């Protein structure tokens, strides 16, 4: 199972095994990590699962849809590396991926 590293807003680091096919958001919710609220349950509606995905891992996931890009454009703390973790679906090539949860997620 791919291991995903989460850096959460209090600075602590958590390594979590996330099953292939689940989202990076699911892995956080499943393990009750702080920071990702996931208010809309993963329907790309709320932007409360905002993370920064380091550039070296960007190609491990599908590109952001127009909808995700628009949500992120005006999200609090938005950066070029911003993604919504509900849209980051884990595949076999995601082992070792590291995300930083945005402060206002």
Partner 1 sequence: MARNPGPRPAHTDGPQQAAGPEARVVVVGAGHGGAALVALLRQGGHRGEIVLIGDEPEHPYQRPPLSKKFTSGELEQVIRPREFYAEQQVVLQLGERVTGLDAAAQKLTTTSGGTFGYDFLVLATGARPRPLPAPGANLDGVAALRTLADARVLRDWLAERRRLVIVGAGYIGLEVAAVATAAGVPVTVLEREERVLNRVASSELSAILTAAHGARGVDIRVDAQVCALAGNGAVREVVLGSGGTLPADGVLVGIGAIPNTELAEAAGLACAGGIVVDETARTSDPAVLAIGDATVRPVAGVGRMRLESIPSATEQAKQAAATILGTPPPAPELPWFWSDQLDLKLKIAGVVLPGREVVLRGDPGIGRFALFHLERGQVRAVETANSPAEFMAGKKLIASGVLVDPVRLADPAVPLRDVSTGAC
Distance separating alpha carbons of residues 50 and 48, to the nearest angstrom: 6
47 binds partner 1 (CB under 8 A): yes
- Alpha-carbon separation of residue 7 from 16, 34, 40, 45, 60 (angstroms): 11, 10, 22, 23, 18
3-state secondary structure of 74: coil
Options 14, 16, 34, 60; binder of partner 1; rule CB under 8 A? 34
| Residue 19: count of CB within 10 angstroms of its CB | 11
For residue 6, give the H/E element and its range. strand 3-7
Q: Which stretch binds partner 1 (CB under 8 A): 40-48, 52-60, 92-100?
A: 40-48
Looking at 44-52, 55-63, 90-98, which segment touches partner 1 (CB under 8 A)?
Answer: 44-52
Question: Is there binding between residue 74 and partner 1 (CB under 8 A)?
Answer: yes
Span of 42-50, 55-63, 93-101 interacting with partner 1 by CB under 8 A = 42-50
Q: Which residues bind partner 1 (CB under 8 A)?
A: 29-30, 32-34, 37, 39-41, 43, 45-47, 67, 70-71, 73-75
């Amino acid at each position: 199972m791919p291991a995903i590293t989460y850096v959460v807003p209090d600075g602590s680091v958590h390594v979590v095994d996330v099953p292939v096919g689940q989202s990076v958001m699911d892995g956080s919710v499943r393990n009750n990590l702080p920071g990702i609220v996931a208010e809309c349950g993963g329907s790309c509606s709320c932007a409360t699962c905002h993370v920064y995905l380091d550039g070296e891992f960007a190609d491990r996931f599908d590109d952001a849809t127009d909808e995700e890009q628009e949500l992120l454009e005006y999200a609090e703390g938005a950066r070029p590396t911003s993604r919504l973790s509900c849209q980051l679906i884990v595949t076999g090539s995601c082992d070792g991926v590291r995300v930083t949860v945005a402060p206002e997620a």
